[in-house]
Amino acid sequence: MGTDFEDLTEGKSVFISIKRSQQTSDDACGLMTRFRSESEGAVLVLVAMMIIPMLAFIGFALELALTENVRVKLQNTTDAASLASADLEQVLDPEDLVEDFFEKAGLAANLKNVSIVNTPTERTVRITAGEEVPAYLTQVVGWESWDVPVVGAATESRQDLEIAVALDNSGSMSWAPGATSGPAATPSRMDLLIPAAQAFVDAVQPRPGQPGNTTISLVPFATQVSVGEALLNNFTVSSEHSTSNCVTFSNASDYQTTAIPTDTTLSRTAHHDARGLGSDVTQFGAVCPTDSTVRDIVPWAEDPEVLKARIRAMQPYGFTSIEMATKWGAAMLDPSLRPVLSSLSGTAGFEYLAAPAARNVPDDFTSADTVKYLIVMSDGENTQSYDIKPPFRSGNSPVFNVPGTNRYAYFRNRRGPFDYYHVPGNFWSTSPGGGAVRLTWPEVWAAMPVRRFVIDILAPADTRRSANNHYNRIVTSTLNTTKNPRTSAICQAAKDSGITVFTIGMDTYAQGDATLLDCASSPAFFYDVNSLDIASAFESIARQINRLRLTQ
């Protein structure tokens, strides 16, 4: 009975447990049913409360995009109007121009204020504009409108510009980029350079009545740089001759500074033709040209016609010495030459220098009123230049000449009566001949090319050396292995002084590209162009020099 009782008890317990569980489930279902019926209104209220901020957020996003479109349109119009009206070269009233921009953009009502500030060196235009964009969806949260303010300003500075332009006049500038004859003939590089350089001179000039001044020094170059007699007279120069006016900078330290001292003796380049084989020293063969109207530096000119006349006269012949041209170009921008300009302004033919002299040109490197630019243009790499070594630079030579003839005698002490070697004729005699006069070394080099002298006279008279050995005893040659580091040094000195350096490579070789790229103030300031694009390079540089800058 006991076991049965326990079983019954356990069974009863199970029965009771199951019944209670069913009762609990029924109670829960009832509660849920009652909750649903009792909370239907509260859920609707909750959903309604969530929809309002969701609509506000969506409206905010849509209206933000709308106002951004309005802002972009206003900002673009403001920037364009400020740039155009700040341009010192446009002749319209700046405020009228701004209003015209906004009217044509359909935004006349959005222009709030135009402020124009003119000074002797610049114009600044400041524009404020705006629009109230009505709110739509965001009105549900009390947002009535969107304020879209826009401000723009532009300044064009017409500071005084000091520019030095070094232009390649070497023989390769006579080459044409295409056919040289026939219907497809193209102009030579020089023919393309001349109008491009003239247009540049005009492009950087201020218009009449506009503030600022532009001073340009022109430095034509080839094997050497012809400084010009009047300009060179303001320096201390060796006096071996006065036929030509070039200077040889033989020390590396000369290219580490933009200055050229006026009280330190400069070595005047010997007047000679180092490589020619003709009987005379010609304008096209001389290391330093003697025609002042072709190659002389034009210093500190403000009259574009003076500069353009020299540009038109340029002729291509000779080798390439970029480092010498850069040295003289940088010197024309160095304030240490201010006394030279002042002195030169009182010289006949340089009356045009009165205005620059009155303004103390060249200005200090640190002046806030002046910006300095150096432009170096070449159609190739550095090649070579020449000078005469001591003791063949000055003093009496062993050469005699019958004046007015090409008859020469060379004296060599052979310890006998026949010490004079004669050309033409190639014979020895006891005297230089009737009427013959002794020549100085500068007179010898002015009379015949060095190579012709050593081949026709010196080597036959002094057979102890070959013609080449004699030549190397007389002539010093500076090659591009020396010229390229010097170019880098003087370009760096210019940049360190605050001069902005632009360079143009016109059909250049690989080494020429490397040298000119290194010289420029930045890679963006090096123009590697073919001959037909030379005008575009000068135009781009002129635009950068005259550039406008957005201030906001």
Q: Are 151 and 234 in the same domain?
A: no
Q: Are 196 and 341 in the same domain?
A: yes
What does the radius of gyration of the chain's CA atoms come to, in whole angstroms? 42
Half-sphere exposure of 420 (CA within 13 A, CB side): 20
Packed helices 2-86 and 94-104: angle between N→C axes, nearest 10 degrees: 140
Q: Which of 157, 176, 201 is the last residue in one of the domains?
A: 157
Q: Are 278 and 401 in the same domain?
A: no
Q: Are 498 and 520 in the same domain?
A: yes
Write down the number of H helices and E strands in the chain.
Answer: 16, 19
Percent of the chain with pLDDT over 90: 68
> How does the average pLDDT of the chain come out, rounded?
87
Of residues 533 and 118, more confidently modeled: 533
Q: Are 429 and 420 in contact (CB under 8 A)?
A: yes
Of residues 129 and 89, more confidently modeled: 129
The two tokens of residue 287 are 């290391």
pLDDT (average), residues 260-276: 97
Residue 39: give the domain boundaries.
Answer: 2-157
Packed helices 189-203 and 534-545: angle between N→C axes, nearest 10 degrees: 20
pLDDT at 426 over 50: yes
CA distance 409 to 401: 6
Q: What is the pLDDT of residues 455-482, one digit of tens each?
A: 999 999 999 999 999 999 999 999 999 9
Q: What's the whole-model pTM score?
A: 0.76
Q: Are 266 and 224 in the same domain?
A: yes
Q: Give the model's pLDDT for residue 43.
A: 55
Q: Domain containing 236 — which CATH number?
A: 3.40.50.410
Q: Give the model's pLDDT for residue 65.
A: 72
Q: Are 21 and 80 in the same domain?
A: yes
pLDDT (average), residues 436-451: 98
